[in-house]
């Protein structure tokens, strides 16, 4: 079977370099393009895996035409991700997006464009397999507890809040208990689908979340911790492989696990 040809946007960033390392170590994948806002030399050297001849360039459209990737993996910022995925769709390239912070309207537009073109893709708030299980468990627990709050904790370089994982978890909780209300603020946090969400940004953190349920005489806490960015890579590689079989877009990693 031919290797899956992968392009990475945000290749010079912390997550992008991790993706370059993961793709370089996957026997069924080949890194063919690396893109960032500034040229940064050889992507393999930057990622610490040795020279691979794939230089970090700035022109995504040109490099998609020249390198012919099967899948684009994007870890950038919300506005750039929207533009990058739009460019990928225009070039007939499947996509895996780990960037959070895109509006619901932006995501819906990308889904519409991709499905109109018959292009598979995945937009995933958290690639850690443990985080996916945390959301599944939260949905199940929501049926039995009257109250729930979410605390999400990330490194101080994460600009969006609440995190995409927290929003997705709140959706699972609301769906599990069969109710949902609008967003709002009460001075303690932000409400997402009726679930209070508290955001913490501190140096020393990577990605962590607690889902705390409360009922008469008891609480239940479901917690997930990513201690390093390598925790996301098995999920990224799984998504790259799975989108090769899709002609539509999935939201979250959960649909790709079954």
* pLDDT the model gives residue 229: 86
**Greatest CA separation for the chain:** 63
Task: List pLDDT tens digits, range 96-117.
Answer: 999 888 888 999 999 999 999 9
How is residue 110 written in tokens? 């990308």
* pLDDT the model gives residue 100: 80
**Residue among 211, 86, 244, 77 nearest 142 (CA):** 211
The residue annotated as part of the active site, out of 91, 155, 158, 198, is 158
* pLDDT the model gives residue 186: 62
Segments of the chain scoring below 50 in pLDDT: 182
* pLDDT the model gives residue 17: 96
The residue annotated as part of the active site, out of 55, 154, 224, 242, is 154
Q: Tell me, yes or no, if 185 is annotated catalytic.
A: no
Task: List pLDDT tens digits, range 142-189.
Answer: 999 999 999 999 999 888 889 989 998 999 999 998 865 545 556 567
* pLDDT the model gives residue 189: 72
* pLDDT the model gives residue 158: 87
Q: Which domains can be identified in the chain, with CATH numbers?
A: 4-123+230-257 (3.40.50.720), 129-227 (3.30.360.10)
In contact, 211 and 134? CB cutoff 8 Å: yes
Give the CA count within 13 Å in the CB-facing half-sphere of 246: 25
Helix axis angle, 233-243 to 14-25, nearest 10°: 70
DSSP state of 118: T
Q: Tell me, yes or no, if 158 is annotated catalytic.
A: yes
């Amino acid at each position: 079977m031919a290797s899956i040809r992968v392009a990475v946007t945000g290749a010079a960033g912390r997550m992008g370099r991790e993706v370059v390392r993961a793709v370089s170590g996957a026997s069924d994948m080949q890194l063919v393009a690396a893109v960032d806002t500034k040229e940064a030399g050889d992507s393999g050297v930057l990622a610490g895996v040795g020279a691979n001849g794939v230089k970090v360039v700035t022109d995504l459209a040109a490099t998609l035409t020249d390198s012919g990737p099967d899948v684009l993996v994007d870890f950038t910022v919300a506005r750039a991700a929207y533009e990058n995925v739009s460019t990928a769709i225009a070039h007939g390239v499947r996509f895996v997006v780990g960037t959070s912070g895109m509006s619901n309207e932006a995501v819906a537009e990308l889904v519409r464009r991709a499905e109109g073109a018959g292009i598979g893709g995945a937009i995933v708030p958290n690639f850690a397999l443990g985080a996916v299980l945390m959301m599944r468990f939260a949905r199940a627990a929501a049926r039995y507890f009257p109250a729930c709050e979410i605390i999400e904790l990330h490194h101080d370089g994460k600009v969006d809040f609440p995190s995409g994982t927290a929003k997705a978890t709140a959706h699972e909780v609301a769906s599990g208990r069969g109710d949902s209300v609008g967003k709002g603020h009460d001075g303690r946090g932000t409400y997402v689908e009726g679930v209070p969400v508290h955001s913490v940004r501190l140096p020393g953190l990577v990605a962590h979340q607690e889902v705390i349920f409360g009922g008469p005489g008891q609480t239940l806490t479901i917690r997930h911790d990513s201690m390093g960015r390598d925790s996301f890579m098995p999920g990224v590689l799984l998504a790259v492989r799975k989108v090769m079989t899709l002609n539509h877009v999935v939201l979250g990693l959960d649909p790709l696990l079954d």
